[in-house]
């Protein structure tokens, strides 16, 4: 059994073009990419199904090895139906997108773009933390011997001031102190 080189080249071209089109922003190109991937999968199953044989009709005296295997054909028919269903679904999505926005391109979500551009601020790591005191620390010892840091929370105050929630943070600290 030898595999036809033309089918392998066609298979590689369908998969390459399908993946390239899937990565585009246009919904029509995404649809064409899905169709090419489906056809590439069908050609892959056809190429790997083995050589051709006799039709699976009963002919007396013919050994079982001479008949064609009908399983790859059934898988290809199933894949065709699935590709058709995905194509119909994508056509519905494309039509609805065109009716609502008169655009075929997929745009970035403004909320996602805002979150991506926002500075990272962790409320636990960047919040003002009251310095812990203990009877075992020497108050007169230099900071490098005690392991203390000289962090005063200036960066946190700058972020709160920029966001405008400095009063809200102070109010929540006062409520926490009252508890």
Rounded Cα distance, 159 and 126, in Å? 9
CATH 1.10.287.3510: which residues of the chain?
Answer: 5-54+69-108
Q: Are 32 and 23 in contact (CB under 8 A)?
A: no
Whether 30 contacts 21, CB under 8 Å: yes
Percentage with pLDDT > 70 across the chain: 63
Q: What's the pLDDT score for residue 102? A: 87
pLDDT (tens digit per residue) in 23-56? 998 999 999 999 999 999 999 998 888 766 666 6
Write out pLDDT tens, residues 148-161: 454 445 555 555 56
pLDDT (mean) for 4-8:
88
Provide the whole-model pTM.
Answer: 0.56
Among 57-71, 105-119, 120-134, 162-176, the minimum mean pLDDT is found in 162-176
Q: How many whole angstroms separate alpha carbon 94 and alpha carbon 73?
A: 31
Q: φ, ψ for residue 123 (rounded to 5)?
A: -65, -30
CA atoms within 13 A on the CB side of 178: 6
Domain 5-54+69-108 has CATH 1.20.140.10: no
Query: What percent of the chain is predicted at pLDDT more than 90?
Result: 32
Q: Which of left, alpha, beta for 64 (phi over 0: left; psi -120 to 50: alpha)?
A: alpha
Q: How many CB atoms lie within 10 A of CB 100?
A: 8
User: What average pLDDT does the chain have?
Assistant: 77
Which pLDDT tens digit goes with each residue over 83-92? 999 999 999 9
pLDDT of residue 152: 45
């Amino acid at each position: 059994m030898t595999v036809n080189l033309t089918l392998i080249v066609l298979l590689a071209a369908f998969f390459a073009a399908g993946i390239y089109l899937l990565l585009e922003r246009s919904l029509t190109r995404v649809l064409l990419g899905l169709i090419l991937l489906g056809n590439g999968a069908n050609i892959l199953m056809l190429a790997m199904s083995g050589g051709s044989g006799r039709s699976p009709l009963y002919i007396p005296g013919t050994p079982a090895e001479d008949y064609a295997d009908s399983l790859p054909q059934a898988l290809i028919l199933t894949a065709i139906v699935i590709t058709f269903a995905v194509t119909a679904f994508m056509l519905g999505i494309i039509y609805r997108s065109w009716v609502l926005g008169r655009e075929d391109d997929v745009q970035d979500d403004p909320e996602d773009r805002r979150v991506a551009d926002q500075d990272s601020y962790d409320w636990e790591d960047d919040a003002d933390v009251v310095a812990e005191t203990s009877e075992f620390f020497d108050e007169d010892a230099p900071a490098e011997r005690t392991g203390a840091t000289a962090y005063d929370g200036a960066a946190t105050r700058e972020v709160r001031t920029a966001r405008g929630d400095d009063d809200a943070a102070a109010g929540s600290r006062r409520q926490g102190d009252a508890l």
